[in-house]
Structure 1
Amino acid sequence: MLKEYRARISATYKNADTEEWIDIRFTRPIGYLWALFFKKLHVVPNVVTILSIIIGIAAGWMFYYQDIYHNIAGVLLLMWANFYDSADGQLARMTGKKTRWGRMLDGFAGDLWFVAIYLAIVLRLWNEFIPLTHVHWKFLILFLAIFSGVFCHAKQCQLADYYRNVHMFFAFGKEDSELDNSRQQRVLLNTTPKKGNFWWRAFLYFYGNYTHSQESLTPYLQDLMNVINNKRGGNIPEEFRLDFRKESKPMMKYANILTFNWRAITLYVSCLLNIPWLYIVIEIVVFTSLAYYLRERHEKLCRQMTMLLEKGYYDETPTLI
């Protein structure tokens, strides 16, 4: 019975290789129960995503307050929002109800949560003293929050999301991956009629910029993709696929740290201890250092795999994926 239940939950994963331990043991099982609940009520995934956005923004508001009760409420609300964020994807995979709006909403949900959270931290600290000084935070905390959110947090999430999709592409094929490229998005944008498609075109524009930013962070990965697509016509040797998966899979734990769970745990601890500035410092120093390490390690792998392909090391067993 338990094995069957776990198998049903596993069927709603994107891919076991890229699922984080906390998600497998905690978030996905609870998200699955919510997905079953919403399925029984005939609630579509987009509604679940909208609910997660509302709850996540409410969580951010709670972190504005310094008392323990509001902060506990913020922790519980953000966990709830994350369960719904898991449930919407699980529900979509269970029911096959995947829409343009779903893709747009799901992409922006987590961003909206953290905009609210960063704003709450700025307002919370605005008139507080910087530790060990008699100077108020004021514009310094605003600057740090913008720097942390835009240049650290956002870039880290882009990198982690990209590497997980690249891993699924090479390990399991195009059908099991959500790997896109900026050129493809520009073509979609230019071929989508303007009339009646304002929001979809806006999404394609911003998503195209997002994928372009991912590509600009990973030059050696782009060289590898260029060799595969332009010089080999998309033919990827089976042995290459296995070797890439073997080397890439250990890196997924670092990519997962750069997504939601560990960032949220850091936020919870910092706010509950009433030192919310610590979250921003850890974001800038620790998570950024980890992202740099992950990028260097992955780029090194891509450089090595590109050299092996160009030298003909994998030419014996081509496979199209």
Structure 2
Amino acid sequence: METTTTPKQETEEVKKDISAFENSLKSNDTEEQIDIWFYRPIGYQIALFCARVGIRPNPVTIISIFFGVAAGILFYFQDLWINVIGMLSLMFANSLDSADGQLARMTNDKSRLGRILDGVAGDFWFIAIHIALCLRLMDEGWSAWIWVPGVVAGFSHMIQSAMADYYRNVHLFFIKGTSGSELDNSRDLQKEYDAMSWTSQFGMKLIARLYLNYTKEQEFFSPKLQKLLKVVKEKYRNGLPGRLVTDFRAQNKPLMKYTNIVQFNTRVIFLFVWLFLDQSWIYFLFDIFVLNPILIYMIVKQEKVSGHFYKEITAGNYNG
């Protein structure tokens, strides 16, 4: 006998699917609309498939690196259709990058290596892209001086992405605690690094060294935030006061839009536009003269928020 589902049961199934999808996200506060509409749904389907067949998050991240680097190589060619294939490859790489985190949250399969790989994956993509664009422009007749803006833009991108990622995790730490955040600090990472052996753990120690440098860079650009995090961890060992969580979220949430602007979607949209116009050199200028001022503004605003809450906490206004 065939079983039929009632409208009520179908509604409940839809609600479960929506809830499962939302649980695979970090937080609506830190998600960009393009990601929620496009990349996260695709990533979720990839994550569901990987969970069914037993693929873990780290291999998904590694595969995304290959697709992202392949995209960069394809941007070297001056044939637009090859560039379009590169664009699709880069979009798929970002979908995989979304899927690895969603898969990790769905299966509770989180690891320090996964966090490190996720942090550096985008850097591999854009290193390949910057190298390819410099070589392409030299083939078009530009002098070797094009490597100067190419390299400056590359370092700019790495700082922009590192700080955006850091501020997102700080926000998640305040609203979700340590379980909902991937916030690290150089002090703990240094202890882990020192405990490793170059002889027996060469690969992991090298990765740990790179990640330690990455974290120190984030901390260098956020001195007031470091003071805030230190006092918070010393004062609220059993969890943050609800009023502090509410107040921090209210003041810090508006800054999340800047972390989105300097991340993947904005730069890639403009990169694609300039590739279509065959004016790829503008991408370097955009990174340096548009995204860097936004980065500076983001850092200044975040430091202002951090300074405010440091004063409030040390004054005893969040003791309850």
Whether TM-score is above 0.5 comes out as yes
Inter-CA distance 168–104: structure 2 relative to 1 (3 Å threshold): closer
Q: Distance in 1 between matches of 2:18 and 2:237?
A: 39
Does 2:148 correspond to 1:139? Answer: no
Q: Offset of 1:40 from its aligned partner?
A: 2.8
Per-residue CA deviation, residues 78-101 of structure 1 (Å, 9 max, x unaligned), is 111111111122222222333454
Which amino acid counterpart does residue 47 of structure 1 have in structure 2?
A: P
User: Do residues 149 (structure 1) and 141 (structure 2) align?
Assistant: no
In structure 1, how many angstroms separate the alpha carbons of the residues matched to 2:116 and 2:162? 16
CA contact (8 A) 1:64 1:124 kept: yes
Structure 2 runs not aligned, ≥5 long: 1-12
Cα distance in 1, alignment partners of residues 176 and 114 from structure 2 = 24
1:41 CA displacement? 2.8
Residue matched to 1:66: 78
- Give the stretch that moved more between structures: 260-269 or 96-105: 96-105
C-alpha distance in 1 between matches for 2:222 and 2:306: 9
Match of 2:304 in 1: 300
Mapped pair 1:111 → 2:123: yes
Tell me if the contact between 2:177 and 2:239 (Cα under 8 Å) persists in the aligned partners.
no
CA shift digits 1:160-211 (9 cap, x unpaired):
0111111111122122111111111001111234453222221221111111
Specify the code of the residue in structure 2 equivalent to 1:186.
Q
Calculate the TM-score normalised by the size of structure 2.
0.90
Deviation, 1:11, is: 1.3
* 1:247 and 1:301 in contact (8 A); partners too: yes
TM-aligned CA distance change 1:109 to 1:243, over 3 Å: same
Q: Which residue of 1 aligns with 2:91?
A: 79
| 8 Å Cα contact 1:228/1:235 also seen in 2 | no
Match of 2:58 among 46, 50, 54: 46
Distance 1:43 1:313 in 2: 48
Which of 201, 211, 217 is equivalent to 1:213?
217
Deviation at 1:139, TM superposition (A): 2.1
Give CA deviations for 1:112-151 in whole Å, capped at 9, x if unaligned.
Answer: 11111001100110143xxxxxxx422221111111111x
**Contact 2:172/2:180 (CA < 8 Å) preserved in 1?**
yes
Measured after TM superposition, the shift of residue 230 of structure 1 is 4.4
CA separation in 2, counterparts of 1:35 and 1:251?
A: 29
- Corresponding position of 2:38: 26
- What CA distance in whole angstroms lies between the structure 2 residues aligned with 1:95 and 1:174? 18
Q: Tell me the SS of whatever aligns to 2:64.
A: helix
Whether contact under 8 Å (1:100, 1:200) holds in the other structure is no
Report whether the alignment pairs 1:250 with 2:254.
yes
Please, which moves more after superposition, 279-288 or 101-110?
101-110
Q: Deviations over 1:202-227 (max 9, x none)?
A: 12211111111111101111222233
**8 Å contact from structure 1 (residues 228, 234) kept in 2:** no
Per the alignment, in what secondary structure is the counterpart of residue 29 of structure 2? Answer: helix
Corresponding residue of 1:197: 201
Per the alignment, residue 182 of structure 2 pairs with 178
Deviation at 1:46, TM superposition (A): 2.4
Distance 1:82 1:176 in 2: 21
Residue 15 of structure 1 aligns to which amino acid in structure 2?
S
Range moving further from structure 2, 197-206 or 37-46: 37-46
Instruction: Report the counterpart of residue 9 of structure 2 in structure 1.
Output: none
* 8 Å contact kept, 1:46–1:88: yes
* Change in CA separation of 1:182 and 1:101 when aligned onto 2, cut-off 3 Å: closer
| 2:293 aligned with 1:289 | yes
Is 2:106 aligned against 1:94? yes
Cα distance change of structure 1 residues 220 and 101 upon mapping to structure 2, 3 Å threshold = closer
Counterpart Cα distance in 2 of 1:171 and 1:55:
34
**Which residue does 2:10 correspond to in 1?**
none
* Structure 1 residue 233, shift from structure 2 partner: 5.8
TM-score, scaled to structure 1 = 0.90
Instruction: Return the letter of the residue paired with 2:311.
Output: M
Which one of the candidate residues 172, 190, 205 is aligned to 1:168?
172
Root-mean-square deviation (CA), in Å?
1.9
Return the alpha-carbon distance in structure 1 between the equivalents of residues 139 and 297 of structure 2.
36
1:37 aligns with 2:41: no
Number of equivalent positions: 308
Identity between Structure 1 and Structure 2 (%): 43
| Corresponding position of 1:132 | none
Report the residue type matching 2:67 in the other structure. Answer: I
Report the Cα offset of residue 258 of structure 1. Answer: 1.4
Change (3 A) 1:97 1:176: closer
Structure 1 window deviating more from structure 2 (97-106 vs 171-180): it is: 97-106
- State the shift of 1:231 in Å: 6.0
Moved over 6 A (4+): none
